[in-house]
Amino acid sequence: MVRKEAMRMVSALFRAGNQGISASWSVGGTRLKSAMPEPSQPKDEDLHAKDGKVLHPHLLNENVVKTQYAVRGELYLRAEQLRKEGKEIIFTNVGNPHALGAKPLTFPRQVLALCAAPFLLDHPRVEEMFPADVIARAKKTLAAFKGGVGAYTDSRGNPMVREEVARFIEKRDGVSSNPDHIFLTDGASVAVRLCLNAMIRHERDAVLVPIPQYPLYSASIRLYGGTLVGYFLDERRGWGLSIEELRRSLAEAREEGKLVRGLVFINPGNPTGQCLSQENLKELIQFAYEERIVLMADEVYQENVYQDERPFVSAKKVMYDMGEPYRSHVELLSFHTVSKGTAGECGLRGGYVEMTNIHPGAIEEVYKCASINLSPNTMGQIALSCLVNPPKPGDPSYELYTKEKASELVSLRRRAHMVTDGFNSLEGVTCNFTEGAMYSFPQIKLPAKALEAAAAAGKAGDVFYCLKLLEATGISTVPGSGFGQEEGTFHLRTTILPREEVMTSFVEKFEKFHKDFMKQYS
């Protein structure tokens, strides 16, 4: 009996200790007290404040803390510090054309100027200052934007602009487009995040993303609590897309219990610069249909194509050309922006997503979430209007508009050759040609001594190389590890956006640095 009572007591003491409370019992007249320690200090997640601050870095949403965005990461911060210290920096880390010397297209800026300052329309010399089609467009736009550019619009964007986007899509693809299924946003990135936020319910929900990938996707998926499932592009085949690799990645994710709901592809590619063929797009569409996965077509670089073998073709056009069952059943989200192409209007923040074959109820829920921000900015919407509805043959602005666009595209094509040719001339560097978009993504074979030095500095090999490049030349790039890369390989991403006269200096500086680096660490 005493032994049974003792066992009961011991069990009770363990239970009490595990619950964080003290306990005492009397056995055989002797009072015993739990020897378990007093309750431990509360964990961070149980605290309201720390060090006197509610918004303490240890007390934030863990998804915020774990989110990484390499394009504005360690290298960018160091570049900003050096710039403040007086060093000249060439910011090739982000696709920001105007910051690197690109000039804005005249027509959209003139329309924006009149919309921002409508009193100029009443100036007696307005017809001397602005072409007639610019004046007419500004008047039409202001009539559609009730209250002018300082007033909110519908949360999906101004109806006139959404109608213009729909007509642009119809002209491009030869298929109908519903303006009510188009959301205008503050750049395409906001549209991507809006859709991912609706798609991801919990950490088991996964999205297939190409590796290398644009960090918008890894950061947003992490922020919303989902899982990124990477599928590798084949560098040896010009960063080609492989359905076999997609199937392998999908199968592994499902074996791990993941619910794969979305598939991202970027065409033309970022950071890899490849252009997908129509056959690639057909494979993606068939894959999405068979596996019941939403396609997310990042097509923001559709104007940036620097070869003639594979011109841009939208996923929507290919899907409709394939006929049934694809055209009616594959769920497709298509993204575009004013930030890329020849406009390069990154700061105006204008973009859109078109939703094809998405359930009407889901579109309503996305509309509700878009309404939280009340309205996309109006200047970005007007810039988008000018992008999708440009001057037409016979309009006063047509000749200059087409000349400016053609000149910029020809220059970008030359710069694509300058950069990739420069990289491929260097020892231990290989680079696929930049077929489209705004970037080159060379692979750099780092010597063993460089990797040892990187490890000693606590850096990945490509981060170490990029930091050395920045310190020596002022060239700010992004390490390949920020985009994902095959184990044992090292890359960096640079834009091809510096003007041609600067690009010559860029190539020369890079060449000198690389030769010195290899000499030092070989």
Among candidate residues 434, 67, 116, 435, the one with its CA nearest the CA of residue 219 = 67
Among candidate residues 288, 244, 234, 243, the one with its CA nearest the CA of residue 263 = 288
- Can you tell me the distance from the alpha carbon of 394 to that of 66, in angstroms, rounded to the nearest whole number? 54
**351 strand-pairing partners:** 185, 337
> Are residue 300 and residue 368 in the same domain, yes or no?
yes
Residue 136 maps to which CATH number?
Answer: 1.10.287.1970
Q: Which residues of 232-271 are buried (b: 16+ CB within 10 A; e: fewer)?
A: bbebeeebbbbeebbeebbeebeeeebebbbbbbbbbbbb
> Are residue 260 and residue 219 in the same domain, yes or no?
yes
Please tell me the number of Cα atoms within 13 Å of 118 on its side-chain side: 15
> How many domains, in total, are found in the chain?
3
Q: What is the extent of the structural domain holding 450?
A: 70-95+403-520
**332 strand-pairing partners:** 295, 356
> Are residue 123 and residue 167 in the same domain, yes or no?
no
pLDDT confidence of residue 36: 41
pLDDT confidence of residue 66: 84
> Are residue 244 and residue 334 in the same domain, yes or no?
yes
Which tokens in the block code for residue 380?
Answer: 């970005």
> Are residue 291 and residue 367 in the same domain, yes or no?
yes
pTM of the model: 0.88
How much of the chain is helix, strand and coil, in % rounded to 5? Answer: 50, 15, 35
> Are residue 121 and residue 157 in the same domain, yes or no?
no
pLDDT confidence of residue 27: 35
Q: Is residue 339 within 8 Å of 148, Cβ to Cβ?
A: no
> Are residue 353 and residue 490 in the same domain, yes or no?
no
pLDDT confidence of residue 41: 59
> Are residue 358 and residue 377 in the same domain, yes or no?
yes
Using DSSP bridges, classify how beta strands 351-356 and 332-337 pair: parallel, antiparallel or unpaired.
antiparallel
Give the containing element (helix H, strand E) for 487: none
- Can you tell me the distance from the alpha carbon of 474 to that of 496, in angstroms, rounded to the nearest whole number? 16
- Can you tell me the distance from the alpha carbon of 271 to that of 477, in angstroms, rounded to the nearest whole number? 12
pLDDT confidence of residue 71: 66
pLDDT confidence of residue 64: 84
Cis, bond preceding 498 (omega within 30 deg of 0):
no
Residues of the chain short of pLDDT 70, as ranges, are: 1-42, 44-45, 70-71
Q: Is residue 341 within 8 Å of 146, Cβ to Cβ?
A: no
Q: Is residue 164 within 8 Å of 145, Cβ to Cβ?
A: no
Q: Where among 147, 177, 211 does a domain terminate?
A: 147
Is 275 inside a domain boundary? yes
Among candidate residues 411, 413, 401, 389, the one with its CA nearest the CA of residue 268 = 413
Residue 350 maps to which CATH number?
Answer: 3.40.640.10
Among candidate residues 391, 305, 315, the one with its CA nearest the CA of residue 353 = 315
> Are residue 134 and residue 167 in the same domain, yes or no?
no
Tell me phi and psi for residue 340, to 5 degrees: -110, -155
Among candidate residues 311, 302, 315, 301, the one with its CA nearest the CA of residue 354 = 315
Among candidate residues 282, 285, 362, the one with its CA nearest the CA of residue 329 = 285
- Can you tell me the distance from the alpha carbon of 521 to that of 324, in angstroms, rounded to the nearest whole number? 58
**374 strand-pairing partners:** none
pLDDT confidence of residue 318: 98
Is 74 inside a domain boundary? yes
Q: Where among 336, 354, 388 does a domain terminate?
A: 388
Residue whose structure tokens are 């996964």: 206
pLDDT confidence of residue 326: 97
Cis, bond preceding 215 (omega within 30 deg of 0):
no
Q: State the first-to-last Cα distance of the chain, in angstroms, to the nearest integer.
A: 79
334: DSSP letter: E
91: DSSP letter: E
> Are residue 216 and residue 299 in the same domain, yes or no?
yes
Is 267 inside a domain boundary? yes
Is 481 inside a domain boundary? yes
> Are residue 125 and residue 177 in the same domain, yes or no?
no
